[in-house]
A and B are shown apart, each in its own frame.
Chain A
Amino acid sequence: MEVERRKIRALSPLDQPRTPEDLRSRQLRARDILRGELEGADLEQYVEERVMTTTLDKVLNVARANSMFPLTFGLACCAIEMMSMVTSRYDIARFGAEAFRASPRQADMIILSGRVSIKMAPVVRRVYDQMLEPKWALAMGACSSSGGMFSNYAVVQGADKFMPVDIHIPGCPPRPEALLHGFTKLQRMIQGNPDPGWRRRYNAIGTEEWARGGPASKPSPEAAEAYRRARELVDA
């Protein structure tokens, strides 16, 4: 079977075919830039080939997204799938997040992997509070997203009840690939480019709770007060 193989990398100036004349001209240009003698259009072209400009926010977000330090927070069965995401088959080191920190002070992402029981909920909240801004929370699995199959006296019906969660990952337990998918979604969210998901496919952008103009887009006075007080603590 004939297979057409094409290079799909973007071409950079360094991909040009290297003839001896090319090499000589590059040497001369390098000598000129070191001597400070490159002028005008040549200098502009040189800089354009090598330097990218962006905003500080974007760079910080790229850095945050691509070098997350997750917190080792395995609660139950999902923890085993989280561990298997760390291991070699579904490597999370590809995405830069292999440095799992044990201390919440050093971590910036908490993966709630497992069911949150009523005895554990205050502990989870405390650990989450001890994490430093910016921090993200990933509710892995059905139990931490919504209580899962355990609708009973002992399980908190979703970690949403007591802490803000950024990404919910369904599954019981979610496959490591599903967890990685959720993680890459979080990375896009952090970089300011959130994945609209089904809303894009069903032409429903603008129906999110915060955009709908419903009760969720206007926080209650208590919530606004709590936010103001928290902001004071952080900004002080």
Chain B
Amino acid sequence: MSTPETTVERERLAPEQELLTINMGPHHPATHGVLRLVVELEGEVVRDLRPVMGYVHTGIEKNCEDKSYWKVIPFVERMDYLAYFFNMEAFCGAVERLLELEIPPRATYLRVIHMELNRIHSHLVGLGTTALDLGAVSMFWYCFRERDRILDLFEMSSGQRMHTRYFQVGGVIEDIPRGFEAKLRSFLGEMPVRIDQYEALLDRNEIFLRRTRNVGVVPRQRLLDLGVTGPLLRAAGEPWDLRKAGGSSAYSDFDFAIPVGTVGDGYDRYRVRIAEMRESVKIAAQALDGLPEGPHIADDRKVVLPPRSELSTSMEALIHHFKLVTEGFRVPPGEVYYSIEGPKGELGCFVLADGSAKPARVHFRDPSFVNLQAFRDMCVGGYVADLIQNLGMLDPNLGGIDR
């Protein structure tokens, strides 16, 4: 529907036709954050597209070189600001690899629960704002209603709605409180019903279908060449998910499926995200059912803060606490690249340690940054209105792109 054969004909007829360059500036209601797009239009058809990024570049990676490892965790959380648990997991996982530290099984399960809730949260915000851009405003309200319930759960376990600094090197900072399990169960019980409601709103909505069907299709091999991962790649038919493909043993205990699309258009991306939310609900339910007893953080006092109850009785605990808080733990020299499946794709963290208490280099391979390279392919040849839809379904997160 968006192949402009008529425009091609007109091109042959009027070769002096000019291209109009417009700037969808960093301040725009429909770019998901401060993304600037320089778009060359011929009439309504996009001929070229150049994204300009960096408007929310915060220098987080440079700032991390100045801070001890546990202080890096709040910085690194604020990169992809919708997937904060994943940022923390990538960093803590990398540092745990460097330290060769085993985390207790309860901590693994708690991490999985929070990460899957965060995945649902990220998809909710992405779908809500995308639907808002397309005009389906009700979806926005519904998605944020559920999002508030997820944030209630995060607030219960860590005290903060967003940017919770819940994951620490060695496990999680605190065990879940009483009442968390009941609240989580009630949320997980209701969530499938809510997802049905979202589907009822959009699945067979004529306008939504006309706007998303066969729009923004990029061939699968081109996506692989461009390094795209996550729901975009899965919508194009490639069943690649790092949770199943290994890398970490956290997800090997759970039984879940990877939703995969066929065509790779906007509609498939929407369906993949909805289905992923259902799978995340299943994973979180399984993790909650099988939550093992035990410590919530590793025992190694050289790396992990001792519990406060020990501070008044044990001198070593006091010394460890002091050293860890003032200087931080030292990591033996080495470098590691640890990647996990974030809600937008492969989130990788490269940590270079030089033996001191501060990392020498922290670099995040952010999925939105790499996925943005596919945006040009998605939009060129289509209409400007499709550009908005493609941007929504690409689900970029400017905090992750700009870091």
Contacts and interface: CB of A to CB of B under 8 A. Distances in A.
A28 interface: no
B161 interface: yes
A155 B59 contact: yes
B55 A120 contact: yes
Contact of B75 (A77, A80, A127, A149): A149
Interface in A138-155: 149-155
B33 A79 contact: yes
Interface string A73-98: 11111011101100111000000000
A154 B33 contact: no
B56 A73 contact: no
A87 B128 CA distance: 11
A123 B33 contact: no
Contacts of B25: 123
B205 interface: no
Interface string B79-90: 001100000000
Given A76-B33, A76-B81, A102 B54 contact: no
B63 A120 contact: no
Give the most central of A102, A127, A150, A153: most B CB within 10 Å.
Answer: A150
Contacts, number: 95
Contact of A117 (B27, B54, B129, B148): B54
A29 interface: no
Interface string B96-139: 00000000000000000000000000000100010000000000
B63 A80 contact: no
Interface in B156-194: 161-163
Given A84-B144, A87-B140, A88-B144, A76 B74 contact: no
A80 B81 CA distance: 9
A209 to B, nearest CB: 29
A102 B147 CA distance: 24
- From A75, A77, A79, A81, name the one whose CB has the most chain B CB atoms within 10 angstroms: A77
B13 to A, nearest CB: 37
Nearest to A71: B27
Given A83-B144, A123-B26, A117 B55 contact: yes
A77 B398 CA distance: 10
A115 B33 CA distance: 12
Contact of B56 (A80, A102, A115): A115
B186 to A, nearest CB: 17
Interface string B22-62: 00011111000110000000000000000000111111101
Contacts of A175: 161
Given A81-B162, A102-B29, A175-B161, A153 B59 contact: yes
A80 B82 contact: yes
A231 interface: no
A150 B398 CA distance: 17
Question: Number of contact residues on A: which range applies?
Answer: 20 to 34
A128 to B, nearest CB: 10
B162 A154 contact: no
B399 interface: yes
A180 interface: no
A154 B54 CA distance: 10
B28 A102 contact: yes
B210 interface: no
A83 B163 CA distance: 16
A189 interface: no
Contact of A150 (B33, B55, B60, B144): B60
B402 interface: yes
B148 to A, nearest CB: 5
B34 A154 contact: no
Contact of B163 (A88, A89, A120, A172): A172
B26 A89 contact: no
B141 interface: yes
A150 B59 contact: yes
B78 A76 contact: yes
Contacts of A154: 57-59, 62
Contact of B141 (A74, A87, A149): A87
Interface string A32-70: 000000000000000000000000000000000000000
A173 interface: yes
B392 to A, nearest CB: 14
A149 B74 contact: yes
Contacts of B33: 74-76, 79
> Which 5 pairs between the two chains have the least Cβ-Cβ distance?
A154-B59, A77-B81, A87-B144, A102-B29, A120-B55
Given A87-B141, A117-B57, A149-B74, 19 more contacts: A75-B56, A76-B33, A76-B56, A76-B399, A80-B81, A80-B162, A81-B161, A88-B145, A104-B27, A117-B54, A119-B54, A120-B56, A123-B34, A150-B59, A150-B63, A151-B63, A152-B58, A152-B62, A173-B163
19 contacts: A73-B27, A75-B56, A76-B56, A79-B33, A80-B81, A81-B161, A83-B125, A84-B144, A88-B145, A104-B27, A117-B54, A117-B402, A119-B55, A120-B56, A123-B25, A150-B58, A152-B58, A152-B59, A153-B59
